[in-house]
Amino acid sequence: MTIELHRHFEAGIRPGLIARLAATHGITEVRTRAGTVVAGIDPQDPDQIRRYYRDIAAGFVTPGGFAHFVDSFGLPLSVLRSLEDLELAVYDQLLDCANAGSLHTELRGSPFSYQEHLKAPIDEIADALLHGVDRAWSERAISGTFILAFSRQKGLGDASAPPVQRQAPLVAALAARLHTADRPVGLDIAGFPEVPFPPRLFEAALAPARDAGVPLTVHAGEQGVPPHYADAPPEIVVEAVERLGAQRIGHGTSLAGSREARDLMKARGIGIECCPVSNHRMGFVRIAEHPLKQFLEEGLLVSISTDDPLMFGPFSVRQTFDAIEEPLGLGPDDLATLTRNAIDTAFVSEERRQHLRAQLS
């Protein structure tokens, strides 16, 4: 059994459900997020959708590869046309993950992203996402959490900017309203690039969420390339913990460059959400050089996740582990440790945490 803590919602929708929703809404063309038509791909054919994303994955490290990756989110976003679609897609994804062996799955996404084809307020969008989580638990006893995210580069526009350009305070306030101890709602800072938008910039905007006890994870230390990690130094990870109170770090590969930073993560019990296949596909860190095993050996609370399954390939944590097991010299005991670490750092009630631990015994 596994646990997944870092999975982007729209990038984890099954090709079969994308095709079904495309047929429901009469969508016959695949368009990029920028609106360009992608020739030769039928959005109502799951096999063609899979082929489209295999081609995207193969081209990440080529010139323009990242732009194609970002634009490819246009397809799953285009089929989310109603609040009912959002609830169904969350429910379906949690069910799919559970069928693949996940005891608990945490999905994340920005409510502003879903406004691209769904004209509803972000609070109604967030309610629909959470209804999908609740439905999975009430109908199938499938455990999940939703983490509301915002893009760092669109987080802090001035008061005259449209809401999509000043997401941080709005999403933080929304998470604060929805979060309860019995049904946690997480908060995430995502987006590229990291260095121009250090965590300290968001300290005031996130205050309402901190005051409400909303658990925070931050994409940090992902975009740097060893050995210097200049585009995402370990100092950014440290700042996310010390200035924002992050309980988990998304990716955190640049921690390999600082023993002092790793010691801080261990001392404070900070979860590290590693996504080795994603990091490899994006050209940041090759799987064979990924610091995951080092983090495990040093006792950090590291877990593994798929990140963006549509784009990166493995659709489950088990498949992700299978892809990294040999090159990193891992074994069954390591997978068990990764799963326990994920339970320890999951954004769940303490009652749910005990439930998940009991599932492993």
Res 205: pLDDT: 97
Share of the chain above pLDDT 90, in %: 91
Is 133 part of any domain? yes
Q: Mean pLDDT over all residues of the chain?
A: 95
Examine residue 24 and state whether it is found in any structural domain, yes or no. no
Evaluate whether residue 31 is within a structural domain: no
Do residues 262 and 298 lie in contact, with contact meaning Cβ atoms separated by under 8 Å? yes
Question: Residue 258 corresponds to which tokens in the numbers above?
Answer: 């600082």
**In CATH, what number is assigned to the domain containing residue 98?**
3.20.20.140
Contact 322, 334 (CB under 8 A): no
Q: What is the mean pLDDT of residues 191-199?
A: 94
Count up the domains in the chain and report the number: 1
Among candidates 311, 309, 295, 287, which has minimal Cα distance to 345?
A: 295
Over residues 150-155, the mean pLDDT reads: 96
Show Cβ contacts of residue 297 under 8 Å, excluding neighbours closer than 6 positions. none
Q: 285 pLDDT exceeds 80?
A: yes
* Per-residue confidence band for 206, with pLDDT thresholds at 50, 70 and 90: very high
Provide DSSP, 29-90. Answer: -EE-TTS-EETT--TT-HHHHHHHHHHHHHTTTSTTHHHHHHHTTHHHHHT--SHHHHHHHH
For 20-57, write each residue's pLDDT tens digit.
Answer: 999 999 999 999 998 999 999 999 999 999 999 998 88
| Per-residue tokens: 116 | 């691209």
**Contact criterion met (CB below 8 Å) for 191 and 153:** yes
* Domain contains 56: no
- pLDDT score for 339: 98
The yes-or-no verdict on residue 65 having pLDDT over 90 is: no
DSSP assignment letter at 307: B
User: Does 39 reside within a domain?
Assistant: no
Q: What is the pLDDT of residue 57?
A: 84
Q: What is the CA radius of gyration of the chain?
A: 19
| Chain segment 85-139, per-residue pLDDT in tens | 999 999 999 999 999 999 999 999 999 999 999 999 999 999 999 999 999 999 9
Domain that holds residue 131: 2-14+83-360
Whether 213 shows a pLDDT value over 90: the answer reads yes
Phi, psi of 240 (to 5 degrees): -60, -35
The beta strands (E) that lie in 259-300 are given as: 271-274
Residue 69 tokens, joined: 């990756």
Structure confidence at residue 61 as a pLDDT band (50, 70, 90):
confident
Bridge pairing between strands 216-220 and 186-190 = parallel
Name the one residue in this structure whose structure tokens are 């897609």. 89
Q: What are phi and psi of 181, to 5 degrees?
A: -65, -30
Instruction: For residue 83, count other CB atoms closer than 10 A to its CB.
Output: 17
What are residue 7's DSSP bridge partners?
107, 307
What confidence tens digit (pLDDT) does each residue in 222-252 have? 999 999 999 999 999 999 999 999 999 999 9
Residue 122 within any structural domain of the chain: yes
Res 59: pLDDT: 77
pLDDT at 294: 97
Q: Residue 159's pLDDT is what?
A: 87
What pLDDT is recorded for position 361? Answer: 76
Q: Is residue 330 part of a domain?
A: yes
| Position 68 pLDDT exceeds 80 | no
Q: Which amino acid is at 196?
A: P
User: Average pLDDT in the 254-274 region?
Assistant: 98
Query: With 90 as the cut, is the pLDDT of residue 60 above it?
Result: no
pLDDT greater than 90 at residue 186: yes
Which residues are CB-contacts of 33 (< 8 A; sequence separation ≥ 6)? 70, 71, 72, 73, 74, 77, 116
Percent of the chain with pLDDT over 70: 100
**pTM for the complete prediction?**
0.96
Q: Check whether 66 has a pLDDT greater than 80.
A: no
Indicate if the pLDDT at residue 79 is higher than 90.
yes
Instruction: Please indicate, yes or no, if residue 238 is contained in any of the structural domains.
Output: yes
Please state at what angle helix 15-24 crosses helix 46-58, rounded to 10 degrees.
120
Cα–Cα distance for residue pair 165/163, rounded to 1 Å? 5
Q: What does the pLDDT look like over 305-349, one tens digit per residue?
A: 999 999 988 999 999 999 999 999 999 999 999 999 999 999 999
CB 9 within 8 A of CB 80: no
The average pLDDT across 62-87 equals 89
